[in-house]
Structures are given as C-alpha cells and as structure tokens.
Structure 1
Amino acid sequence: MATTPELIDRPRVLVVGGGYVGLYVALKLQKKIANAGGIVTVVDPLPYMTYQPFLPEVAGGNIEARHAVISHRQHLKQTELIQGRVTSIDHQNRTAVVAPADGGEPFEIPYFDVVVAAGAITRTFPIKGLADEGIGLKTIEEAVALRNKVLERIELASTMTNAAERAKALTFVVVGGGFAGIECITEMEDLARAAVKNNSRVRQEEVRFVLVEAMGRIMPEVTAAQAEWVVEHLRSRGIEVLLNTSLDNAEGSLKLINLPDKTPAQEFEADTLVWTAGVQANPMIRSTDFPLEPRGRVRVLPDLRIAGDEGIIDNAWAAGDIAAVPDLTGSGLPDGTCVPNAQHALRQAKRLAKNLWASRWDKPMADYKHKNLGAVAGFGEWKGVANINILGRIGLKGGLAWLAHRGYHGLAIPTGERKVRVIFNWLLGMTMGRDTTQLLDLDNPRGAFVAAATPAPKPAAAPAPAAEPAEAKAPVTADAK
C-alpha cells in the first residue's frame, strides 16, 4: 500500500462517487461541514458528473457534449476532490482504499462518515462478440462516439460499391427497449435523416435501424397503450421493432433468436451495435463490509442509513442506483424499492444530506418518500411520449410530450449555468438546424502531428545504368601495320 498523499486532516465525510448523489450531497454539505471543522471528500475517476438523461441527445447531436456534464472543480469549491476509484471499504476501521486514476499506487484514506454513491454500470450477458463489437450508452464518451460513428458510416457508405458492405455500414442495431434504448435509436435515426439529406449518394431507404427487445413490450415506465403507440411510431419511421427477441451472437453476423420458442429469428451484418439492456449496481460494493440484498445493492433504511440484520451501521449512508432504497409510496419495483433513475437519485441525495447533517446534532431525521412524477421521453425533434402524474395521470405524445421532456430535464440538470447552456443549445438547434459535422480521429488525436513530425522516407537511389558491352575490335592484320 502506498503512502497516503497529502490530504486535509479534518473529520471527513467521504463520498464514494461523483454522480447524481455524490455531486448533490457534496453541494449541500460542503459549506456546513467546513464551518463545523470537517471536510467533504469526493472520490471519482472522472472530474465531472454526467447527466445521463441527455446522453441520447448528445448522440443525436442536439446537445454539446460538455454541456451534459457538470465539472466537480467548478462547482465543489469547498470539497476535497480525488480523481480515482474506491476499490474497497473497511468501515469497521473507517478507512477506504483509493486507486488513483493515473494508475499510481493505491492508498488508504480515513473518514468519519461515508456516503456510498458509486451508482451503476451497464449490465451485460455472456454473448459471443458483444464485448468486441458493442458499445453502451452510459457515458458521455460513448454518446460522442455514437454520434460520430453514425455520421462516419453514412459518409463512408456513400462511396462504397459493394452492396453487402454498404448495407452493413448503413445498419444500426440497438438492444434494449427501455427509455435509454428508445431515446437512443430515435435520436440516432433523426441524426441519420439529417445526414442523408446532405449526401446525395445515399438514399434514406438504404439506412436500416433495428430495435431488439427481449420482452413482449417496450418502455415499462409508460402505460401499455402508450407503449403500443411508441411501437407504431417507430415503425412509421422505418425502424424495425423485434419484440420477444434476443441477441444470441455478435461474432461476424448478428444472430437473433425468438425467445418463446428459442428458434432463429434473423441473421444479418451491422457495423453499429448499441447495448442498452439494463444496469447493475457498481461491483465495488462487493469489496466492502456492508450488507447487500439479492440484486447486489447495499441495504438501506428509508432514511438512507445503511443497515443489516444486526441493525443500523453508524456513520454509513447510501443512495441512488447502488442502494436498495425502500419506496414508501408503493409505486416502485416489485421488490418494494425505488426505480433506479435520475428523478429518485437527485431527491435522495438532498434527503441524505439533510439527514447526515441532522445526525451530527442528534436531530430527527426524515424518511425518503417521493411519489414518481411520471416519465418523459424525447424521440427526436417534436416527437416523444410522456406519462405525468400531477393532479391525476396525464398521458401525452408527440410535440407536447417532447416539450414536457425538454422542460423537465432542462430544469432538472444541476447548476444554473448548465441549464442556460443546454437551453441555448436547444434554441440554436431549433433556429439553425442540427449540426451534422463529423469529428474525426478523436481516438487518435496525435495522428496528424505524428505524421507531420515523422521524416518522409528518402527515395531509393535510382539503379546505376547497366554497362554497355565493349565493341568488338577487328583483329590486327599485317596489312594494318
């Protein structure tokens, strides 16, 4: 174990993760804890929080990528920030092990309170070829890569003459029919339409989008009637919707199977495979001494304190996707816990910060209870679906649902400056159109410089001309003497 780097030596509230929960807990507590003589420390491998509901719009080119993330340094001025990953927690001894993001030696960090807010990661299955061919939609980097790949594939296909290779380049597959998958495929389809309009060598009917969903319906967050309307809407845009279908193999051609009878469904080639089939609790929680429930989430009480069979664990808190937070409204998951979404995470963070501060002064703490306000989804410009639970259930679709989606998330993204940037993104897009400029070589930014700085090979010396054969001399005769 490496020597602990120079850290502020005060009673520490250690926040594991800088996502929704981590950012808001730090925002709400940093000044109070500092004034009380302590310090809030956030450990996260990234220097920003990602507002994940905006990832489909980043992939579709409607929002600038940097505007969908919130800088820790810019907004957590009184918080100690460590760019790294907590790999284990020993709560009995109040220490955590941190692996620096730069690959340096891990070190221990002591704390007084710990807030487990490491969120969730993409849930995958052992499907051949998935790790090599697929991409998720959980990070800002994945969203940017998707946007560029859609544009790059269309541009590349426009000069292809091989029909099979051209069809492969213009085929885009999304696995997962939840909110993330539906919003992803519709935003990508909108982006592709805009790109095709600017390229006369590609026809819209050549571009193929396929949605693969293992269940018999999509979007469980909305009503069955709304889900059926969404399927009709997708198909009206030329998007193939395959229900009760699973991806069986991604090596070479994609192989799909019908789940009811386990028979082959389709087999085709695609250059783009997006995986949005669910999330799971960050596996780092398994390297702690905290109690877990069957799905791998840490067990908490309604007041967000970690608790096991033996009772409450003092000075330990958790919220968000990594925690099994009881849903006291009765409208959550079948196991009685809150749905893992941004709406709950943001509100749980605020309640956790209030309760942690109250615990410092032996004041009463309140339980987390929040009735789901509904669900809103955008399917590209002026298209969407919404299920709003205000003064009764209100179902919306089309342009009104799209406006509800943008209104809600425009207000929900943290910090005022990010709200302004996002709203101006939208206004520019509505007045000037979608930006379909492709950014090249983001995975190899030094390529052009390396090529320029590498001396060109010297041309090979021209081969010397072959010697001409000497002319035969006439023999000397007596007459010639």
Structure 2
Amino acid sequence: MTRPPRILIVGGGYVGMYTALRLQRRLRRGEARVTVIDADSYMTYQPFLPEAAAGNIEPRHVVVPLRRVLNRCEILNGWVVGIDPDARTVEMRPHSGPPRMIDYDLLVFAPGSVSRLLPVPGLAECGIGFKSVEEAIHLRNHVLAQLDLAASTTDEEIRRRALSFVFVGGGYAGVEALAELEDMARDACRFFPSLRPDDMRWVLVEATGRILPEVGPEMGRWTLEQLRSRGIEVRLGTRVESAEKGHIVLDDGTEFDSSTLVWTAGVKPHPLVKASGLPLDDKGRIKATAALTVDGSSTVFTAGDCAAVPDLTKPGQMCAPNAQHAVRQARTLADNVVATLRGGELVKYRHAYAGSVASLGLHKGVAQIYGVKLRGFPAWFMHRTYHLSRVPTFNRKVRVLIDWTLALFFRREITSLGQLAHPRQEFEFAARPEQAAEARPAG
C-alpha cells in the first residue's frame, strides 16, 4: 500500500500554523500527510505581547497550542539542523535524544526571524528582547521588580538605575512595548508611597529621524508628541554605543546607568535560512517567486519574515516582514501546495497594504487604515477590535475578551513573580542552606 505524500512544514509561527490550518480544511482525507516542526508546541500571537507584558491579557491567552488546533497534523518539537533539497530530506534534532531524518514530498520552509543584534558592547549580557511570550513575561516581572527595589533602597544611585528604562527601536515592537509598560508602571506607582511617576525615566532610542513609519509621517509625529507629553524621552537620530554593565552610552554624548535595556531594533532571518542551501538575496532572505515557491524549485515553498516575496502592488519592491502579509501569504501558499498535489495552476500572491494600528497604553492608540487616520481612544478601540478578530481560534478570542472585560472592573496586578526565572532557587536553598545562604536574597 503506497503512503500518501508528506507535506513538511518547518516553523510553527504565522506562516507555518496558518498554512497547516488551511491544508487541514482543504485536503481530502488520506490525500496527504502534514507534518509541522517547531521548537515550541505553540504559536505566539505577537501583536498582543505588549498587552501581555502590561498585564492587560493573561500571557497564556496570547499563545495557540499547535496540537489543539492542528489535530489532523503531526507535530514534532525540536530544531531543524539541515536540509537536503535534492534528497528531499530534513534533519531534525529533538529537545533530547539523537537527531532523525525526515523525508518529504513538498516542503514549506518558514522558520521566521530572530532579533537583529548590532555589535554593541554589553548588549548580549544585559539586553532583553521582545519577540516571545517568555520575554514579555520576564520584562513585566523585571519592571515591577525595579519598582520594588527603588521603593526599598536608600541608595540614590541604585534607585536612579532601577527607575531608568531604555528601549531601542522606534518601530511597532519598541513603541508599543514602551508605551504599555510605562502606562502600567505609572499606574503601579500609586501603590508605592515613596515613588512618583516623575521619578521614572523612560527613554526611546531610534537611529532614524522618525518613529512608527508604518502609520505615516503625520501619525508618526503625533505619536512622538504624545510620548513626549508623557515625559518619555524620545531620541531620534541616535544610537547606543555601549551598554557594558548597564552603563548606557549614546552617540550624542549622553551617559547614564540603567538596569533595563530592551532591544527591538529590527529582525533578521532565522540562522537556519543561511544554512539551508536555498538561494538568498542580499539581505539574507530566501528568494521567492510571486507564487511563493523558492526560486528555481517547484517542491519547496516559503513565505513570511525569512522570505523575499515580490510585492506585485509595488513593482520592484518586496513584501514587508509583518503579520499582515504573513497570514495572507499562508493562505495563498496552502492553496498552491494543494494545487501542486492535484496538478493545478499556481496563483500569485497579491495584497495591497491595508494600513496599521498601534496601542500606546490603556485607551490610547494611533492608526491609519486605508488612508483613514485615527488617534486616541478610537484608534485604541480599532487596535483591539482588529486584533481580536485576527487572533486564532474562538477559544482564544473568548479568553482575551474576558481578560479585557475583567480589566474594566479590577485594577491590574502589580506582583513581580521574579522567581519564575529561577524556579529551583528555593529548593536549592533548602537542600544546601550553607552554600545558598550567602547568595540567596533576603525576604
């Protein structure tokens, strides 16, 4: 008995999950096997990360369990470490145990992207990213822990360092993360009698001359004014030269200490892309056709942040690496995979950019949708409405809506669960009190 062809999907993010979800719906039973490989067993809905970090949404509600939504697919957790397009095999390394070879008939290669780091001294040691739910949880706990520290110490230098928060990158991730966390911290100050919102220093560092380019120049300038009116320092045309041991040095000559450095200065293709052997462009992205096949191949498909997909609405340009394109590309990609299996004709991906929405804290936002510009509460409401409609599964929509509803009646939690980062610390103290006592903080 011949086995049905295998469709192998590398990556469980936007492209990987939405492609598998559409294949589940379109493939006839027994027509093909779909296998998804990703290091995690869930997909993260990244537009909700700032709200999760600010405590508006329960962190578990911004992730979608792959095994639940892709119940007709095989889910494998681990890292892909090698691809052989000629032999049509992929080498996967599980979290534990020996690697295994997996064959395929059609490959969907969408490992996504990682943070794009620059050679800034000290960045790797003290920087915090903002691409995963784990980083969002850590950042929330970290900011609240700094408020706890500042309220408890009598050392002014430690206090200033704890209350200085630096965000690098003026795109969506940086602006939304800073705005939401500043709003949360300002709200939390009412529970710290010795702290005032003015005691905190929030700094946004952007190398170009504008922030939020996605919403257009006018809305970008309005956002800049709003942030500055809240006491946030926005330094345009500025770069971080050094961050060794938390001592921040900017190229305009400014120097100060900070315990918080959040790096959101862009993304780059996943390292696996370079090691894949697939054709790359000058930015390290996989060369793709408008039909979302890899250039020169009819059995390998790609899309998302790792792919250079021609933008047919803007001849000569490539699609921006954002969720808006990724979700729509996944739909076209899945349809083309089905067409390949059935000997049909492939369609080309075409999507005119609809616009963007961004949250700037509770009841504050900015948006530009199909040329319509919104600001303040209407933009914030549009942001929540749009993303609630886009978050996968009815289950997650309801849970997020319940979180928002409860927030109307109850204040945000301000408890720092720092021990989440070191869950065995208490157990180790109990097991080796003599060795741990010196290192263990009191309280």
Q: TM-score range by the shorter chain?
A: over 0.9
Q: Which residue of 1 is the match for residue 11 of structure 2?
A: 17
**Alpha-carbon spacing, 1:455–1:156, altered in 2? closer, same or farther (3 Å):** closer
RMSD: 1.7
Give the letter for the 1:16 counterpart.
V
The reply to whether residue 268 of structure 1 matches residue 256 of structure 2 is: yes
* Counterpart selection for 1:414 from 383, 392, 397: 392
CA distance in 1, matches of 2:39, 2:260: 27
* Counterpart selection for 2:318 from 317, 323, 337: 337
Preserved CA contact (<8 Å) 1:194 1:436: no
Q: Which residue of 2 is the match for residue 295 of structure 1?
A: 283
Give the letter for the 1:52 counterpart.
Q
**Alpha-carbon spacing, 1:434–1:363, altered in 2? closer, same or farther (3 Å):** same
Please identify, of 40-49 and 249-258, the stretch whose mean Cα deviation from structure 2 is larger: 249-258
Q: Which residue of 2 is the match for residue 304 of structure 1?
A: 292
Q: Which residue of 2 is the match for residue 89 of structure 1?
A: 83
Question: So what's the TM-score if we normalise by structure 2?
Answer: 0.95
Give the letter for the 1:250 counterpart.
A
Task: Specify every segment of 5 or more residues in structure 2 that has no aligned partner in the other structure, as ranges.
Answer: 436-443
Q: Which residue of 1 is the match for residue 49 of structure 2?
A: 55
Query: How many residues get paired?
Result: 433
* Counterpart selection for 2:145 from 139, 148, 152: 152
The reply to whether residue 120 of structure 1 matches residue 113 of structure 2 is: yes
**More helix by percentage:** 2
Quick one: percent identity of the two aligned structures? 46
Preserved CA contact (<8 Å) 1:17 1:119: yes
Q: Which residue of 2 is the match for residue 376 of structure 1?
A: 357
User: Alpha-carbon deviation of 1:37?
Assistant: 4.1
The reply to whether residue 327 of structure 1 matches residue 311 of structure 2 is: yes
CA distance in 2, matches of 1:291, 1:17: 18
CA distance in 2, matches of 1:284, 1:449: 37
CA distance in 2, matches of 1:73, 1:167: 46
Please identify, of 281-290 and 227-236, the stretch whose mean Cα deviation from structure 2 is larger: 281-290
CA distance in 1, matches of 2:122, 2:424: 29
Structural mapping, 1:11-50, within 5 Å: 11-30=5-24, 32-33=26-27, 35-50=29-44
SS across alignment from 2:79: strand
Structural mapping, 1:157-236, within 5 Å: 157-236=150-229
Please identify, of 215-224 and 141-150, the stretch whose mean Cα deviation from structure 2 is larger: 215-224
Task: Specify every segment of 5 or more residues in structure 1 that has no aligned partner in the other structure, as ranges.
Answer: 1-7, 259-263, 458-481
Cα deviation code 1:119-164 (max 9, x no counterpart): 1110011110000010110111000000001101001110111111
CA distance in 2, matches of 1:371, 1:36: 36
Q: Which residue of 1 is the match for residue 438 of structure 2?
A: none
Give the letter for the 1:299 counterpart.
K
Please identify, of 407-416 and 322-331, the stretch whose mean Cα deviation from structure 2 is larger: 322-331
CA distance in 2, matches of 1:407, 1:136: 27
CA distance in 2, matches of 1:9, 1:208: 62
CA distance in 1, matches of 2:293, 2:124: 36
CA distance in 2, matches of 1:195, 1:105: 48
User: Alpha-carbon deviation of 1:416?
Assistant: 1.1
CA distance in 2, matches of 1:377, 1:247: 25
Cα deviation code 1:360-412 (max 9, x no counterpart): 112222111111110000011110100001xxx10011000000100111111
User: Alpha-carbon deviation of 1:79?
Assistant: 0.8
CA distance in 2, matches of 1:446, 1:282: 31
SS across alignment from 1:132: helix
* Counterpart selection for 1:255 from 232, 238, 249: 249
CA distance in 1, matches of 2:47, 2:111: 17
Which entry has the higher C-alpha Rg, 1 or 2? 1
